[in-house]
Amino acid sequence: MTSSTAAAVDLASALDTVETWLTEYISASHPEIGRTGPICPFVSPSRKNRTMEIRLRLVGPAPSRELVEEIARSSLREYELTTWQGRNPMLQAMAVVLPDLRGEDTALLDQAQARVKDDFVERGLMIGQFHENCEVTAARNPRFAVSRAPVPVLAIRAIALHDVFFLSDRPHWFAKYREKFGKFYGPGSTLMDPLLAERYQEAEQAFGGRS
C-alpha cells in the first residue's frame, strides 16, 4: 500500500461509509427481511462487547480472483491471531474492507468467498461478502438482496445458530454445524424458530451421517 494510492482512495471516507452502513443498515430492521430484529443480529452485540475489528485492504488497479482470495485467506490467519478486547469468542467479528475494488470487479469477491468458505467453516467460522452488486438473498425472502453494501466488504465471524440457512447445502458444512448446534434440535428442544428446525431436519434427512 503506497501513500499516494491510499490517499487517492480516501480511507477515512471509506471507514465512515462502513460505519454508517453497519449502524443504519446492518444493525437495523428492514421491512423485507422477513422477520423482526436487525438484518444481522450479530453486529450490535459484537460492537458493544468490543469484539468487532475493521481492516482495510487495497487491491490496486488490476485486481484478480487470486488476489482477493489471498486477502480472504490472510484475513483468516489474522482473525485467528488477533488479541480480542472482548471476552466472548462467539462475538468475535472482522470486517475486511476493500475500498478500491470497483463495481465492475465485485464478482471477484463472490468468487473468492466461494473458494475459501470450506476452510473457514472447517475452523468454525463464516465468511460473507457484501458489495453493491451482491445477489445473496435473505433466508426468508428470496426476492430481497440483503447483502448489498456501498463499499466491498468481507465479513468474518464465528458460526452462529441461524447459520443453518447457509450451511445446509453441503454435507461437510452441515456436519460442522451439527457438531456445534445439534444439541439444540434434539428431543424436547425449546428452539423457538420453526424455520431453523425445518431447515435442520431437511439437511439431516439429506445427508444423514455423511461429512
With respect to residue 124, please indicate whether it lies within any of the assigned structural domains: yes
Cell numbers given for 110: 463472490
CB-CB contact of 176 with 120 (8 Å): no
How far apart CA 211 and CA 208 sit, in angstroms, is 9
103 shares its domain with 179: no
How far apart CA 1 and CA 9 sit, in angstroms, is 11
Q: What sign for the dihedral angle of Cα 96, 101, 103, 104?
A: negative
148 shares its domain with 180: no
Scan for cell 468481507, then name that residue: 154
How far apart CA 169 and CA 207 sit, in angstroms, is 9
153 shares its domain with 56: yes
Mapped onto helix, strand or coil, the DSSP state of residue 94 is strand
CA 116 to chain centre: 12
With respect to residue 27, please indicate whether it lies within any of the assigned structural domains: yes
Local confidence pLDDT in tens for the 211 residues of the chain: 444 455 478 999 999 999 999 999 999 999 999 999 999 999 999 999 999 999 999 999 999 999 999 999 999 999 999 999 888 999 999 999 999 999 999 999 999 999 999 999 999 999 999 999 999 999 999 999 999 999 999 999 999 999 999 999 999 999 999 999 999 998 777 777 889 999 999 999 999 766 5
pTM of the model: 0.92
CB-CB contact of 73 with 116 (8 Å): yes
Domain, as residue range, for 49: 3-158
